Amino acid sequence: MYYCYLDTPIGDLLLAGDDDALCLVGFPEGSMRREPEPDWIYSEKPFGDVRGQLTAYFDGNLHSFDLRLRPDGTEFQRKVLDELQKIPYGTTASYGDIAKRIGNPKAVRAVGAANGRNPIPIIIPCHRVIGSSGDLVGFGGGLPTKEALLRHEMEHSQFPHVVQG
């Protein structure tokens, strides 16, 4: 596994993957803060597209990522992660919305757990998922980071503050 860091407005993000796909984005703080494993190799080379697209995202010039991803997880978790990628830039959806979309409306807590284990945040936009009351709840990078990402998207979106249902 290769890794490198990317300096962003929310801090240095850890990027990890191989020559084929991105496997992990780690936040600089919060419960999803990650450190490279001892056997990982530092190299920026495999992450040219990732770094370029994340930089464009933080510059407000990219609203949809086109990267090869390989998130780890169970079949249910991957189903949730696939659904998260359908939430448009600048919009939000609730955990209940996601549960309904995957055909399991009673799985709200399981959706929350899968969302919280997202190994590739920002690119798989778990920050766009909010509580049913509209509150910002739970985020592996910390709630201030979630708020900053949502504010960034709303400032650069042509349809700000739209809540998906």
Do residues 45 and 81 both lie within one domain?
no
pLDDT band at 163 (very low <50, low <70, confident <90, very high): very low
Nearest C-alpha neighbor of 58 from the set 9, 12, 13: 9
pTM over 0.75, yes/no? yes
Higher pLDDT, 5 or 159: 5
Do residues 52 and 132 both lie within one domain?
no
**Residue 67 covered by a domain:** no
Burial class, 158, CB count within 10 angstroms (exposed 0-12 / middle 13-18 / buried 19+): exposed
Burial class, 37, CB count within 10 angstroms (exposed 0-12 / middle 13-18 / buried 19+): exposed
- What average pLDDT does the segment 154-161 reach? 72
Do residues 80 and 137 both lie within one domain?
yes
Nearest C-alpha neighbor of 118 from the set 128, 105, 106: 128
pLDDT in tens, 11-57: 999 999 999 999 999 998 887 788 999 999 999 999 999 999 999 99
Q: What CATH number is given to the structural domain containing 86? A: 1.10.10.10
4, 126, 130, 149: which one is catalytic?
A: 126
pLDDT in tens, 101-120: 999 999 999 999 999 899 99
List of residues 6+ apart from 76 with CB closer than 8 A: 107, 110, 114
Expressed as residue numbers, the domain containing 15 is 2-58
pLDDT band at 138 (very low <50, low <70, confident <90, very high): confident
The one-character DSSP state at 33 is: B
Do residues 147 and 101 both lie within one domain?
yes
Do residues 145 and 80 both lie within one domain?
yes
pLDDT in tens, 60-104: 999 999 999 999 899 999 999 999 999 999 999 999 999 999 999
Do residues 81 and 140 both lie within one domain?
yes
Give me the pLDDT at residue 36, please.
95
Do residues 95 and 131 both lie within one domain?
yes
Residue 126 known to be catalytic: yes
Give me the pLDDT at residue 86, please.
95
Strands (E), the chain: 2-8, 11-17, 22-26, 41-42, 91-94, 129-130, 162-163
Give the count of domains, the chain. Answer: 2
**Residue 117 covered by a domain:** yes
